[in-house]
Amino acid sequence: MELVQLFFLLLAIACLLFLVIGLFKPWAMLWWEDVQNRRKVVKVYGSIGLICYAIYWGLRIFLESTSTS
């Protein structure tokens, strides 16, 4: 289960990196879209990053609660 937790943490970090890259060059991170702008970069990579980070913290709290029981 720790590997799944680590996976979501690394995925959140990768989304943060892609978000930073996309703020400078939106077309590089949204090449499949017809219109590439910074707002779409924040929507796509920001939301995915936040979701992955929330899952990471949820798993962390879940694992701590099951290990103390």
Tens of pLDDT along 3-52?
999 999 999 999 999 999 999 999 999 999 898 999 999 999 999 999 99
Nearest CA-CA partner of 4 in 49, 64, 63 = 63
Q: Helical H runs in the chain?
A: 2-24, 26-29, 38-41, 47-68
Q: What global pTM score does this model have? A: 0.87
**Which pLDDT band, with edges at 50, 70 and 90, does 69 fall under?**
low
Angle ∠(52,58,61) on CA atoms, nearest 5: 145
The residue with greater pLDDT, 55 or 69, is: 55
